[in-house]
Homo-oligomer: A and B are copies of this chain.
Amino acid sequence: MVRESVDLLIEARWLLPMEPADRVLERHSVAVRGGRICALLPWQEAETRFEARERLRLHTHALLPGLVNLHTHAAMTLLRGLADDLPLMEWLQKHIWPAEMRFVTPEFVYDGTLLACAEMIRGGVTCFNDMYFFPEAAAKAALEAGMRAAIGMIVVDFPTPYAADPDDYLTKGMALRDQYRSNSLLSFCMAPHAPYTVSDKTFGKMLTYAAQIQVPIHVHLHETEEEIRESLRQHGVRPIERLRRLGLLGPDLVAVHMVHLTPEEVDLVACANASVVHCPSSNLKLASGFSPVAELMEHGVNVGLGTDGAASNNRLDVFQELRTAALLAKAVSGRANALPAHRVLQMATLNGARALGLENETGSLLPGKSADMVAVNLGTLELSPCYDPHSHLVYAAGREHVSHVWVQGRLLLNEGRLTRLDVDEIIARATRWGRRVAEADGSAPEGRGQ
C-alpha cells in the first residue's frame, strides 16, 4: 500500500478540534500538507496512511486551534504599566494620551506591535484583531512575525499624528487594505473607535464602505456607564440604539466590551447576529463593570475573547482571559456550572474566527482549514495528573505551558522558543522606547533619574 505524503504529522496525546466544543480525540494525529490540515486520525492509522516529511511526537500535549485575540491595540505594549492604579480619566488624560500624542509614530507602532506579536505567539495566539494608529506599521509587524491579523482601519473624529480628519483616516485605511488585498494572512475591519469619538456622519460613511468591501465593523461599545449617560445626553438614546438607527447593528458588527446591557439589548444583539468581544481583565482593571457573558452566550450571541491593549490589562495573554472569563461568569451568574471550560475555549478560537469572517480558514481543527495550531504541554508539574484537558487548559495551564505554535503550518514557536523573531533585539528596542516615555512622563521610576 502506497502511503500519502504529507509535510507534517503531529501525534498529540489530546486533540481538541473545538468543533464541536467538547470533543476530545485521544492519541490522535493531525496531518498537514501545503499549510492546511488534511486529516485527524488515530496515531496508528496515521502511521499506516501517511508518509510524513516531518514528524512530531507530543505525547503529553493537547493540540488545539490557535487562539484568536479578538480585540487589542498591539502597539500599546510600549506603554504597559505606565501609571497604573489611577482613576480612568486621570490615567488617560495625564499619562496615556500625552504619551501617545508625543511618541506614536510608524516606528513606535512597528516596534510595539512586533513586541506584542512575540508575546502573543509565546502565549499561543495565532490571530489578532487590532485597532491602532498607523495600521500600516502594525500590518508590517504582523507579517514579519508570521501571524494572522485583522487590521483595523481606524477612524476618530479628531486629528492625531496619524490623520487629520475622518476622510483622511478612511482614505489611509482603504489604501492600506488595497495594498494587502490578496495577502493570505491579513484581513481588515472598519474600526470606528467608539460612539463618543465618532459622529453619525462618519459612522454612516464607514457603514457604506464596510458593506462595499465586505469587512466587519470593529467598535468599542457600552464599555462604561459614563459612555451611556453621555450618549443619552447628546443623542437621546443609548449607544446600541444609536448604532441600530444608523444601520450598524448587524452580523458584521464586532462590538467590544458590552458591559452594561439591558435584557432588551441582549435580545437586540442576539437577533442582529452581531458578535461581542469580552475583555474581562480590562473591564475589571478599569472598573468598568461585569459583562453578562453567560446570558449573551445563552441567547446565542457569538462571543469571542480579547485582551484589550497592554495598557489596560496588562498581559496580551488569551490564556489569562480564558481563565478570568470562565471564573467571572460563574460568580456573575451565580452558577458554578456557567461557561464551562470547553465553551470558553471555543470563544477564544472558533467564535473569534467567526466574528472576523475567517471561520472557513481558522478557529478549529477541520480538514481543509489552515494549520493554525497551538500545542500545550499538560505533562508538567503544575498539570499532573490531568483528568480533563479542557479543564486544565482553562483553569490550571497558562501561557507558560505553550510549547509549539503554527500558522499556515509554519512553526513560529518551537519548544517555547520563537523561530522567526529576534527576542534580544525586540527587548532592546522596547527598553529604548521605555526610557524615552518614562523621561517625558516623569511619574515612572525609570523617569526619576536613577
Contact = CB atoms under 8 A, between A and B. Distances in A.
Contacts of A328: 284
A338 B87 CA distance: 9
Q: Which 6 A-B pairs have the closest CB atoms?
A: A385-B434, A400-B400, A387-B444, A284-B327, A85-B340, A314-B395
Given A391-B314, A399-B400, A385 B287 contact: no
Given A330-B287, A331-B289, A336-B287, A444 B388 contact: yes
Given A324-B324, A336-B85, A399-B400, A385 B330 contact: no
Interface in A275-313: 281, 283-290, 310, 313
B338 A82 contact: no
A315 B396 contact: yes
A63 to B, nearest CB: 15
A447 to B, nearest CB: 8
23 contacts: A24-B445, A78-B385, A82-B388, A83-B388, A115-B381, A119-B382, A284-B327, A284-B328, A284-B331, A285-B395, A286-B336, A310-B396, A313-B395, A314-B391, A317-B382, A317-B398, A324-B324, A384-B434, A385-B433, A385-B437, A387-B434, A387-B441, A388-B444
B84 A450 contact: no
Given A391-B84, A395-B313, A427-B379, A384 B287 contact: no
A297 to B, nearest CB: 14
Contact of A337 (B87, B324, B423): B87
Interface residues of A, number: 82
Given A287-B331, A391-B314, A399-B400, A434 B386 contact: yes
Nearest to A80: B396
A323 B81 CA distance: 13
A392 B327 contact: no
A287 B334 contact: yes
Contacts of A331: 283-284, 287-290
A260 B323 CA distance: 23
A98 to B, nearest CB: 14
A445 B388 contact: yes
A423 B381 contact: yes
A433 B386 CA distance: 10
Contacts of A427: 379-381, 384
A446 B88 CA distance: 47
A30 B110 CA distance: 39
Given A283-B331, A287-B334, A427-B384, A81 B446 contact: no
A411 interface: no
B398 A445 contact: no
A395 B283 contact: no
Interface of A: 14, 24, 26-27, 78, 80-88, 91, 115, 118-119, 122, 281, 283-290, 310, 313-317, 320, 323-324, 327-328, 330-331, 333-338, 340-341, 379-382, 384-389, 391-392, 395-396, 398-400, 423, 426-427, 430-431, 433-435, 437-438, 441, 444-447, 450
Contact of A396 (B314, B337, B447): B314
Nearest to A327: B284
A27 B450 contact: yes
Contacts of A84: 340-341, 388, 391, 395
Nearest to A280: B327
A80 B381 CA distance: 12
Contacts of A444: 387-388
Contacts of A388: 81-84, 444-445
A398 B395 contact: no
B386 A446 contact: yes
A285 B331 CA distance: 7
Contacts of A115: 381, 384
A118 B327 contact: no
A305 B273 CA distance: 42
A81 B395 contact: yes
